[in-house]
A and B are shown apart, each in its own frame.
Chain A
Amino acid sequence: MRSIVYYVREFLRPEWLKKFFSVKTAPLTTPAYFKGYPTLTDKECTHCLTCMMICPAPGAIAVLRHKEQWAPEIYPGHCIRCGLCVEACPEGVLTSGRILDVTSRDKTAFSSWYRLEVDDNLCMRCGNCCVSCPVNREIDPQLAGTGTSASDEVIMRIEGGRVTILHEEKCTGCKTCETNCPNRAIRVARMVEGVQGGEAEA
């Protein structure tokens, strides 16, 4: 009986009632080190597309043109917030959490190359890859519909009825050739290496 009285008195205290009905947990803040969606800094984008090429999620990032200025755009429904684009960007256009500070202090970076590979058994010698390549078109605007070119500076051209790759290092990894190939004969391989201190082995 005494315990019942004790509990009734305990629970009728105004402080207890007030606490019971109104107290909430403290408002939560997202910590500064959380990798959120990448946001733009004031650096200028050079349209090198490294961010798009390293992005592991389909359709998460696109570099778009806004009045003579390129800028990457992040799509929240697709972005997985891994922060690879922030780390890979050579200019520091994007920032997310404290990745940018940490990478600049530790001098960590990703260096990437592109390797082109043509499967001669599948290739139909149509020349679509040479014509569609945006780098090729810039170097040699006269690139013929058959993919032959007089210039030695193009990435690839049709020589003697087959695709010859001349300058692999000029490839920007846009994969336009891969999408335009009717037979999936040409493949662009992205090779990425995590490096520290600026040195990289090719």
Chain B
Amino acid sequence: MKKTVDVSIPLGPVHPCWKEPVRLKCETAGERVIRAEVELGYMKKGIERIMRGRPWQEVMFLAERVCGICSVVHNMVFIEAMEEISAIAVPPRAAYLRVIVNELDRMASHILANFSYCYTIEHETLAMYLLNTREIVLDNLERITGSRINTAYMIPGGVRFDLLPEDAAAMLADLVKVEDEMKRHVRIFETGPLIALRSKGIGVMSREEAIRSHTVGPTARASGVEESDLRLRHPTYRELGFTQITRTEGDNFARVMLRFDEVFQSIDLIRKCVETLPEGPIRGGGLCKAGETSYAGEAPRGELTYTIKTDDFGRVLDIAIRTPSIMNIEACAHSMIVDAASIADVTSTFISSDPCIACNER
């Protein structure tokens, strides 16, 4: 049967709901969305081209600036890939500090994603509450690393700054505050009848669709894909006894609630890290050598892979980055938005998959 398309509605590139430029073309029949298409390419800066022929101390900063929201994890995955190439061992204290900073960054990213969702469904009160809670998380990130975003914390063979005992105490006190506030926000979100109307049963992606379209991260976990969190394979997280959170509904509500749950999980991980923080040096030294590897880590949005080839002096000869959002955006356009009952749900569904355009196009 031939599909009848009434209007093709473009959303973007400059759109009040998009934080970054992306164009979403929706072909609609009445209010029903028949087909959606994502048009990227507004942010292509050629970071991989700039990275070639440069030593780690420059590539590290470029890797951070692939994405400003999840900059810590880009730094971490790049540095751990370089360590795998050059067989550099990390001191245990540095490995734990990395987990602390990474989880703080994940909390900030997840809270920001949920802020965007609440802002998109016009629940501005909850959105502002969440944004204020995020500031407390960023304060802690700043206290450890010295800057709020683009922290430049990890270097091959360790980290740059140590965690002082008084900072650790202040961080634990702040985490109690964050946990209390987040519990309140989750209650608002879970029990709000209007939020449930805008979120439950909208943008449903089944487990089969999620696997077929290779979704990663919270988007996959909300659809019930098991073993999709790469933190399960990271040695430090395994020491901490990390377990994956999975939900099965696969709608907007599940995706947002999964991120809320992961924030609480991150708080627990940080507490466990601070409790069992081993004594010792924070830098082991070690020079980067020649080699080639492909290393994957878990970003707030899913699996992040760096494929790196270096020369004898530790300069990056070739690099390829595979970021999580590209799979999630395509899955969103092909599985979630299609057959949406209303064009008004398109923006919120798209935002609920937490798209990061800067990551995608680099």
Q: What is A's interface to B at a CB cutoff of 8 Å? A: 31, 33-35, 54, 56-57, 80-84, 87, 97-99, 102, 106, 108, 115, 117, 189-197, 199-201
Contacts and interface: CB of A to CB of B under 8 A. Distances in A.
A57 B152 CA distance: 13
20 contacts: A31-B143, A33-B143, A33-B146, A34-B146, A35-B147, A56-B60, A56-B61, A57-B61, A80-B150, A97-B146, A98-B146, A102-B161, A108-B283, A190-B55, A190-B57, A191-B55, A193-B156, A193-B287, A200-B285, A201-B285
Nearest to B88: A193
Interface residues of B, number: 32
A196 B283 contact: yes
Nearest to B280: A196
Nearest to B144: A33
Contacts of A199: 285
B152 A82 contact: yes
Contacts of A192: 55-57
B57 A35 contact: no
B57 A54 contact: yes
A192 B155 CA distance: 10
A87 B285 contact: no
Given A33-B143, A83-B146, A189-B315, A194 B283 contact: yes
B160 interface: yes
A189 B283 contact: no
A33 B147 CA distance: 8
A194 B157 contact: yes
Contact of B142 (A34, A56, A87, A190): A34
B164 to A, nearest CB: 8
Nearest to A200: B285
B157 A191 contact: no
Contacts of B157: 193-194
A191 B283 contact: no
B101 to A, nearest CB: 14
Contact of B282 (A57, A80, A106, A190): A106
Interface in B272-327: 281-288, 313-315
Contacts of A54: 57
Contacts of B285: 193-196, 199-201
Contact of A196 (B139, B158, B287, B315): B158
Nearest 6 Cβ contacts at the A-B interface: A189-B313, A35-B146, A196-B283, A56-B61, A194-B155, A82-B152
Given A80-B150, A194-B157, 6 more contacts: A34-B142, A84-B57, A191-B288, A194-B160, A200-B285, A201-B287
B147 A34 contact: yes
Nearest to B159: A194
B312 to A, nearest CB: 8
Given A189-B313, A191-B313, A197-B281, A106 B146 contact: no
B124 interface: no
B160 A87 contact: yes
B208 interface: no
B328 to A, nearest CB: 29
Given A34-B142, A201-B287, A56 B58 contact: yes
Nearest to A114: B313
A84 B285 CA distance: 16
Interface in B238-294: 281-288
A194 B156 contact: yes
A56 B146 contact: no
A150 to B, nearest CB: 31
